[in-house]
Amino acid sequence: MTETDQVRDALTKVPAVTLGFWIIKILATTLGETGGDSVSMTWLGETTPGAAQSPVNGYLVGTAIFGVLLAVLVWAQIKARRFNPWLYWATIVASTTAGTTLADFADRSLGVGYPGGSLMLFACVLLSLFAWHRTLGSVDINTVTTGKAEIFYWVTITFSQTLGTALGDWLAAAPDEVPPGIGLGYLGGALVFGGALAVTAFLYYRTAVSRVTSFWAAFILTRPLGATVGDFLDKPPDHGGST
């Protein structure tokens, strides 16, 4: 390891991308999905999963609540002098929870449905990555060593979490729900995204595909995988869940 690498590792406040990272990421995603649903559907009055809502609703209020929490944690993450795993993963959970309520608001309350919401959020991810690369010259997480890079990092992560929620709901929701989905169910959706994640891992380890591209693809795919598992665990049987 060169002296430059040692300095970079000392400055970075994101964890090494290992198998443990992905396991915790999926678990955090599952927790964020169930937490977001608990607030928007239970605490804030929404009782019918998949039902359309007005713009001023549980999804919007839930997004505001978790958005404030996320902003506070990102601020603390940027101000921290060194990597703190508890702070980092708390921020990840906050981004997944805010992403859950924001995706539901985009898909259901804005009237664009799952395809429209997914395309809109995918565009946000691409724009965030473009602005990050245009400003700092790289979107590699190993270069996240400054406050400006951290801001781009967390903005991109939040959009990717939100996109993952929309994709998971799109595949899992039944065609007769509001908004309509593809109808694979939560377990079916989990299998699809788990398979896509396995393909991404194969390409990463067995081909010359870009490591940066592989990371962001995997980061997005772990979100709907955790989301579909979380929905299966917290939704009633008549809506495809287990509880």
Q: Which of 37-46, 73-82, 197-206, 216-225 has the lowest mean pLDDT?
A: 37-46
Interval 203-229 mean pLDDT? 89
pLDDT value of position 50: 46
CA dist 123 and 120 (Å) reads: 5
Q: Is residue 20 part of a domain?
A: no
Handedness of CA 8, 10, 13, 18 (dihedral sign): positive
Q: Is residue 175 part of a domain?
A: yes
Q: Is residue 219 part of a domain?
A: yes
Q: Is residue 10 part of a domain?
A: no
pTM score, two decimals? Answer: 0.83
Q: Which of 16-25, 72-81, 222-231 has the lowest mean pLDDT?
A: 222-231
CA atoms within 13 A on the CB side of 140: 7
| pLDDT higher than 60, residue 205 | yes
Q: How many domains does the chain have?
A: 1
Residue 110 structure tokens: 């804005």
Q: Is residue 30 part of a domain?
A: yes
CA dist 163 and 209 (Å) reads: 23
> What range defines the domain where residue 39 resides?
25-239
Q: Is residue 42 part of a domain?
A: yes
Q: What's the chain's average pLDDT?
A: 82
What pLDDT, in 10s, does the model give residues 129-179?
Answer: 999 999 999 999 988 888 899 999 999 999 998 898 889 889 988 888 878
Query: Is pLDDT larger for residue 130 or for residue 4?
Result: 130
Q: Is residue 1 part of a domain?
A: no
Q: Is residue 232 part of a domain?
A: yes
CA dist 211 and 68 (Å) reads: 32
Give 18's DSSP letter. S
What would you report as the CA-atom Rg of the chain, rounded to the nearest whole angstrom? 18
